[in-house]
Amino acid sequence: MADRFRQNLLSWFDDNSREYPWRDEDRSLYEVFVAEFFLTQTPADNVADVYPTFLDRFPTLDSLDDADPERIESTIEPLGFQRMRTEALVEIAERYESLPEERDELTSLPRVGPYVADATLCFACERPHPIVDRNVVRVYDRIFGSAFPDGQTERRAFADELLSTNGSEARRYNLALLDFGAIRCQKRDPGCTDCFAAEYCDYYRSTDSE
């Protein structure tokens, strides 16, 4: 079933992918990191409104180190959490001349968790890292039911098993997974009857039989 889901998901993605500026394949590590850092607890469309202006004003990590924190705050104010985010970005810029490219180092940065680190390295460096946020958890929990484990470590291992070891393929799969959770397998009214996974989705089979 896992292979079937993966193939169906990628076919669905061909016609339903979302377009965001940070998804361009030539984006730098810093540019992808900025997006993923802001996407935590913030809708993607909101980040898309601020992202070009932020990069225009602060195009590199070094430019953040030289910037007036109040200017950073005012730029990202529409996203919320602007003070905490500014403090974290300034601290990162003070500590590093360039962003680290190892997961353990990234997760040691302020306000950078496993998801941000994995997404940054997958989308910027094409590292085959699984990404597991609450939307991905919802998708996997619905599709695979009891086969999807509890626990952060176990869930990451489960997601890793579904991922190709090829970096570009892993990148595409992870983007597809994010878009599927955002567009189709939403928290409310997921539209199961028209979903490609309806035949084998544990969630749909259980609700359809009620």
Taking each continuous run of H as one helix and of E as one strand, the counts in the chain are 12, 0
What's the rounded mean pLDDT across residues 125-152? Answer: 96
Q: What is the pLDDT of residues 114-126, one digit of tens each?
A: 999 999 999 999 9
Q: Is 36 annotated in the active site?
A: yes
Quote the CA–CA distance of 200 and 208 in Å, as a whole number: 12
Q: What is the CATH number of the domain that holds 167?
A: 1.10.340.30
**What range defines the domain where residue 59 resides?**
2-208
The rounded mean pLDDT for the chain is 95
Q: What is the pLDDT of residues 10-37, one digit of tens each?
A: 999 999 999 999 999 999 999 999 999 9
Quote the CA–CA distance of 197 and 44 in Å, as a whole number: 25
pLDDT given at position 209: 53
Catalytic pick from 36, 101, 105, 169?
36
Quote the CA–CA distance of 28 and 131 in Å, as a whole number: 19
What's the rounded mean pLDDT across residues 64-82? Answer: 97
Domains of the chain: total: 1
pTM above 0.85, yes or no: yes
